[in-house]
Amino acid sequence: MLSILGVVVGAFLQNHFARQNNEAKQLLESRNQAYIDFMEAVSLVMSAQRLGRREQEQEQLARLTHAKARICMFGEESVIKQLATFWEAGAKLETESEILAFTRFVLDIRKSLGLKDKEFLNAEVSQLLFAIKPPRS
């Protein structure tokens, strides 16, 4: 009788942990896709703006809004706060404060994905995204 109870409890625990693992995996996939879609839409909006393609800009702004909403649903708290800071700063990537807020947003995304950077990458991320190199803090 004890062995049957052990098998039942073992099966229950295995099912429970498998379900938790699957839910965590789905959340991570949703989060990652929202981050990717947001970054892609930002890039496409900026490109459309620079080329004066108003219709394409409007399409990408809608896509950007959708990705932003999914970040609010699936993103980690620190990422959502950085996104809000970027939006408060103007969200146009034209001023230094907007660029720094966006850079911090990108760095928080990296952290939320479990990337453990050995050095503070603010300067490198700004250089890669905007071809500027802010002073190190």
The reply to whether 47 and 6 lie within a common domain is yes
* Mean predicted confidence (pLDDT) in 63-75: 94
- Report which of residues 35 and 132 the model is more confident about: 35
Number of domains in the chain: 2
Which domain range does residue 65 map to?
Answer: 1-75
The reply to whether 95 and 107 lie within a common domain is yes
What pLDDT score was predicted for residue 73? Answer: 93
The reply to whether 95 and 82 lie within a common domain is yes
The reply to whether 35 and 16 lie within a common domain is yes
Note the helical H segments in the chain: 2-51, 54-74, 77-88, 96-112, 122-130
pLDDT in tens, 76-113: 999 999 999 989 888 888 888 888 888 889 888 988 88
What pLDDT score was predicted for residue 92? Answer: 81
The domain boundary, picked from 75, 94, 113, lies at 75
Could you give the percent of the chain with pLDDT greater than 90? Answer: 34
Q: pTM score, two decimals?
A: 0.72
